[in-house]
Amino acid sequence: MNVLLGLAGSDESITALRRTIERTGDVGDDLTVAVLEKADTERSQEEMYRQAEKLLSEAGVDAEIERLEGDPGASLVDYAEQGEFDQLVIGGGTISPMGKIQLGSITEFVLLNAPTTVKLVR
């Protein structure tokens, strides 16, 4: 399976990265990590790029890492449209006090506009 992982600066993104690396190692998926540019995050794009390199290296997983500029949701969907990906993986979603999932604007945009199957990792 050819998998694209969208990586922003959140803890949920790191969780998605770790789980996707684990799956890739287990089943041999082809993985591309797209590091998104997002101004209001806990970690910068450069920090996320280095984190992805480190975790991939530690796991012995060979993957392509790309930096995407511009609006995070739109740039990820555009990149997914240009490639032949079977699945797009993103981290996100929090649980409301009522037990319902709440999606951020980027996650919602990707879920509604992606040209392929989207896996949401919480």
Q: What is the pLDDT of residues 62-116, one digit of tens each?
A: 999 999 999 999 999 999 999 999 999 999 878 888 888 888 889 999 999 999 9
Nearest to 11 by CA among 40, 33, 37, 42: 42
Q: What is the pLDDT of residue 35?
A: 97
SS3 content of the chain, % helix, strand, coil (to 5): 45, 25, 30
Q: What is the pLDDT of residues 34-66, one digit of tens each?
A: 999 988 888 999 999 999 999 999 999 999 999
pTM higher than the cut 0.85: yes
Q: Is the model's pLDDT at 21 over the cut of 90?
A: yes
Count of alpha carbons within 13 angstroms of residue 69, beta-carbon side: 0
